[in-house]
Amino acid sequence: MATGSGGPAAAKIVWNERQKRFETEDKQAYLQYELRNGGKLMDIVHTFVPSSKRGLGLASHLAVAAFNHAQSNSLSVIPTCSYISETFVPRNPSWKSVLYSEDLKSSI
């Protein structure tokens, strides 16, 4: 679980397996993913935080929940979502080890 200063109310993130989402309890902010390669790859396709909740670190909390889930379940992450690839991973380089590497497949 993520630790640190959660601010006044640390966000509780819920895994919605049926809808392939990690979301806040109120379901307003979420991270959407698709499973690929027989369920071995978690392709994070979209992260959404409504304007009323931006600036609270919710996108990062959602991403940490997804990456923790992927790591715990031996999944590799494909960072299709621009927030994940351009903001979250560069700010949290320790998660690079969970990313899918094309080097594992023969590249043509």
- The CA distance from 92 to 107, in Å, is 27
Q: In angstroms, rounded to a whole number, what is the distance separating the alpha carbons of residues 61 and 10?
A: 9
* 91: annotated active-site residue: no
Tell me the C-alpha to C-alpha distance, in Å, between residue 88 and each of 19, 26, 101. 22, 23, 17
Active-site entry in 29, 31, 70, 81: 81
The residues annotated with a catalytic role in the active site are: 81
